[in-house]
Amino acid sequence: MHNKIDQWKEEIRQTEKAFADMVAEEGLHKAFVTFAADDAVLLRNDKLFMGKAAIDSLYAGYDSKGLTWSPEHIEVAASGDLAYTYGYYTNTYTDEDGNEQQSTGVFHSVWKRQKDGSWKYVWD
C-alpha cells in the first residue's frame, strides 16, 4: 500500500507545483480558478467563497504573480481520493503607494481526485 500512497503524494506535489507555476506565469486569478474543483471553498478574510463562480468573482482582475509556496507536508487518504497539504507562503505585492510589500503565512489545502484522475482543491 505504501507504494500507492507515495505515488499519490507525488501527484499532489506535482499538482501544487503546477498550481504555483501558473500563479507565477499567468497570475493568481487564472490559477485559483483553474485548480479549483467546481464545489471548492476558499476562506478569505473570515468569509467563505463557495464554488468556482464565487472564486472567479473574488479574484477577477487580480493577476498578481507574487504568491509563492511549497507544501511542507502532504497526506493522502488510503482510498486515494482525498489529500491535504500545508506549509508556508509568501505574497509579494505592490501597495497603493508603489512600494513593494511582503506578507507571509501558513496555507492549508484539501485536494480531491476528480473523475478524470486529476486533483483539484476543494478547500484553501
Q: For the purposes of burial, counting CB atoms within 10 Å of the CB of 86, is it exposed (0-12), middle (13-18) or buried (19 or more)?
A: middle
**Mean pLDDT lowest among 10-19, 30-39, 58-67, 80-89:** 58-67
pLDDT of residue 106: 96
Residue 1 is predicted with a pLDDT of: 53
Structure confidence at residue 47 (pLDDT)? 97
Range of the domain at 58: 2-123
Greater confidence (61 vs 79) lies with 79
What average pLDDT does this structure show over 34-39? 97
Positive/negative CA dihedral, 93, 12, 35, 49: negative
pLDDT digits (tens, 9 = 90+) for 93-113: 888 899 999 999 999 999 999
Residues in the chain: 124
pLDDT score of 27: 94
* Tens-place pLDDT, residues 47-66: 999 999 999 999 998 888 99
pLDDT at 61: 85
Average pLDDT value over all residues in the chain: 95
> What is the number of structural domains in the chain?
1
Residues 6 or more apart whose CB falls under 8 angstroms from that of 66 comprise 91, 92, 93
Q: What's the CATH code of the domain at 109?
A: 3.10.450.50
